Amino acid sequence: MPDLATLPGGTSVFVDTNILHYHFEGRSVTCTDFITRIAVGDIEAYVNVQVLSDLLHKLMFAEARRKQYVKSSNPQEFKKFLKGQRGQPWLLTDYQQQFEDILALGLHVLPITEKLLVETRYERETYCLMTGDSLHVGSMNRRVLGRRKYPLRDIVTHDGDFATIPDLTVWQPGDVV
């Protein structure tokens, strides 16, 4: 799999949640450089609502851990913290701005519809993918510009499950810590 740092300018790519999250967590200079390239228009980046929803969750959880409201990576502890927040002043303040900063980059959001949920059975069964990953590949395969279908053939991710999909180039950061 090619290193994300070598991604040619002008490439249209699908971006997985982990790449955006690594940027905010400071876990990869390559991911941060990639985000900058999107911001200046060097890369045309696509996501779907699944990616955005997952990112929002990860940003909230990371902030709760960073501020030590949650001590572990156990989702039940995070859920308990959120329940304890009901009726209290909201303690998480950073995640929403981070999320809106990502949206301000000008990402193209591919739709997830009932039809896509049904049609991605093909991707799930053919490539043995989890639901979320099948929605990513399905969104990529069914991208429409104007009235024509123009599938995306490049994905930026740190998830090896995409490596076995033919005709798909998987760009990975080589410096994730």
Q: At residue 177, does pLDDT exceed 90?
A: no
Write out the two tokens for 49: 């609502």
Q: What is the pLDDT of residue 89?
A: 87
Q: Are strands 169-171 and 154-156 parallel, antiparallel or unpaired?
A: parallel
**Residues 126-149: tens digit of each pLDDT:** 999 999 999 999 999 999 988 999
- Residue 2's pLDDT band, with cuts at 50, 70 and 90, is very high
Question: For 69-93, what is each residue's pLDDT tens digit?
Answer: 999 888 899 999 999 989 988 899 9
Q: Which helix (H) or strand (E) holds 15?
A: strand 12-15
Instruction: Output the CA–CA distances (angstroms, integers) from residue 126 to 18, 88, 139, 166, in the order listed.
Output: 24, 48, 15, 11
Q: What is the average pLDDT score of the chain? A: 95
As a whole number of Å, the CA-based R_g of the chain is 17
What sections of 26-170 are H helices per DSSP? 29-39, 49-66, 75-85, 95-103, 114-119, 121-127, 131-141
pLDDT in tens, 5-64: 999 999 999 999 999 999 999 999 999 999 999 999 999 999 999 999 999 999 999 999
pLDDT tier, 161 (very low <50, low <70, confident <90, very high otherwise): very high
Q: What pLDDT is stored for residue 24 in this prediction? A: 93
Q: What is the CB neighbour count within 10 angstroms for residue 142?
A: 18
Per-residue confidence band for 170, with pLDDT thresholds at 50, 70 and 90: very high
- Our measurement of the distance from residue 7's CA atom to the centroid of its chain's CA atoms, rounded to an integer in Å, reads 17
Give the number of residues written for the chain.
177
Domain extents in the chain: 9-110+157-171
On whether the CB atoms of residues 58 and 78 are closer than 8 A, the answer is no
Answer whether residue 163 shows pLDDT above 90: yes
Confidence bin at 1 (pLDDT 50/70/90): confident
